[in-house]
Amino acid sequence: MLKNHGLLPGLMLLGMLGLAIGTTVAATDRTDLNKATFAGGCFWCMVAAFDNLPGVVEVIAGYTGGHTENPTYEEVSAGETGHAEAIQVFYDPTKTGYSQLLEVFWHNVDPTAADRQFCDIGPEYRAEIFYHDAQQQRLAEQSKAELSLSKPFKEPIVTQIAAASAFYPAAEYHQHYYRKNPLRYRYYHYTCGRAQRLKELWGSAPKQ
């Protein structure tokens, strides 16, 4: 199975150093914020897509949708746990809404691809929406139905929508990777073909 995060020199080696998993983010304890969870392939790229949106307070890279507790990056990448690389978005509902986040999600994934995104192949790189309540479920299903009618491409939308389950933050090394390692991030983003495919699907590539 192809694991194209390995495109980056030394990346997998650094990922195996056993860096501490998770970060304590004040946003996770704030009762005035709402939470959204999305999987869209490489979580570095999804963090970058959501990180600077109006109303978004914090975006955390991690793993969800699997059947084991506290999975490691290596276990998830090997396809052993059923988890997807994912992000959790903490946002101020007075400044942005879940519908706006869904629009950003759709335009940053290839919704025609099952169990892969761009150059990354395997169910751990699937695109999926994980809802946290009935309203999110309704809005997610509505947005998918509307997109099926208005999409600018011919292929069917295969992105799944499922109830949110346990979310496990990835190691600190992966958090906001695009900021910490901008050159390596841009190299990966380009060589994986993400921007090129998004432009092909939607007519223009989202800014990263």
Q: Is 45 a catalytic residue?
A: no
Amino acid 26: pLDDT: 74
Q: Which of 42, 45, 119, 192 is flagged as catalytic? A: 42
Q: What pTM value is reported for the model? A: 0.87
pLDDT at 87: 98
- Specify the pLDDT at position 204: 75
At position 163, the amino acid (one-letter code) is A
All residues at 6 or more sequence positions from 164 whose CB lies less than 8 Å from its CB, including other chains: 37, 64, 130, 131, 132
Backbone angles phi, psi at 102, to 5 degrees: -60, -40
Name the DSSP class of 39: E
Would strands 160-163 and 127-131 be described as parallel, antiparallel, or unpaired?
parallel
Q: What is the mean pLDDT of the chain?
A: 89
Strands (E), 9-152: 34-40, 56-64, 84-91, 116-117, 120-121, 127-131
pLDDT number for residue 205: 62
50-92 pLDDT per residue, tens? 999 999 999 999 999 999 999 999 999 999 899 999 999 999 9
Instruction: Give the pLDDT confidence score for residue 114 in this predicted structure.
Output: 96
Split the chain (208 residues) into runs of 10 and give each run's mean pLDDT: 45 37 64 97 98 97 97 94 98 98 98 97 98 98 97 97 98 96 95 96 76
